[in-house]
Structure 1
Amino acid sequence: MMEGMTRLPLRLLLVLTLGLALAACGGGPSSEESADALASMKSSVDDELRAMAGVLDASGLSVEQATGRVDDKGMSTRRAQDYLARAVLVGSGDEAGQVEQAATALEDAGWTRKAAGLDAGEANPWVQLERDDFRTTIGWTKVGPRELALRLDQAGDVEVPDDTPVVDRDNSEDIPLD
């Protein structure tokens, strides 16, 4: 009698576990939902970059060559995409000073400094800042032409259906700053 009572909870647990696993497999977003969420993220990041450009321009740095691109994320159990923006900052003075100038201007606009590599011996000065759910890194490029680059993204990513094609690695688009 006791053996039958023990099997019932185990069977119930097995049925519930299988049910939850099956529900999780079929509950992903539709292509339309993913496209709408990615478009919303793109719009938010582009708008934030424009606001940052206004602040940085007022501080004496020029914001140029703004581009945005979609990036694949995830792993075999979850597919996702993210939208990232990049711009080149042009100023004058030493490299660490330009990074500090950008960071100070953004801090005055409500950003919070999270980390920095501005020591005198730093070969590629950089700073990371956050505001709301946005993250930015401003630093000197290590490869290619020497530029002060600003990278911006929004926390999180957009889950996409498993059959979504992989994005082209060179899908950058210009972001109008005005």
Structure 2
Amino acid sequence: MEQAGFRPGRNCTDQIAALTTYIEKGFQNKKKTTAVLIDLTAAYDTVWREGLLFKLLKTIKCLTFYKLLNEMLTNRSFTVNIGASRSSTKQLNNGLPQGSVLAPTLFNLYISDLPATTSRQFTYADDIAISTQHEQFENNEATLNQDLEKFHKYFQQWRLKPNIQKNGDYDFPPE
């Protein structure tokens, strides 16, 4: 998997071009291509904080930096101001700090261990495409079903939710 989201010199167009090139090569090789597009629901707002801290602890070698990030992520609260009115304080138990320059990097780290798949992966921020090519669409379906099962388990483990309304699968026949 190569994440293109929130990386210098990379953008969404890079992943679209990579997927398009993959599909075109399938056309050249007379293979049928199927792609599944996955969008994660409110990805930043629903990052499981304990899971992220676990991944940070495994990744970060500097305990002082880990403690700083832990402090930034925990004991967060908010209020809503409308005119002269102010709501009561509410605790934020999950999610990444909105507007933080570290939030994109933390999200990339959170999903950096997406499961390995037989299908090719294209990721940009919280959008994931997996695609495979075979002589028959039935083989694509079997491969993608196995890979989607891996994603399903991963999403459950790390409390991520695919947005069913934005997900889809697409077939690209060579002719």
TM-score with structure 1 setting the length: 0.29
Q: Which has the higher Rg, Structure 1 or Structure 2?
A: 1
- Structure scoring higher RCO (CA < 8 A, sep ≥ 6) equals 2
Compare the two structures and name the one with the higher helix fraction: 2
TM-score with structure 2 setting the length: 0.30
Compare the two structures and name the one with the higher strand fraction: 1
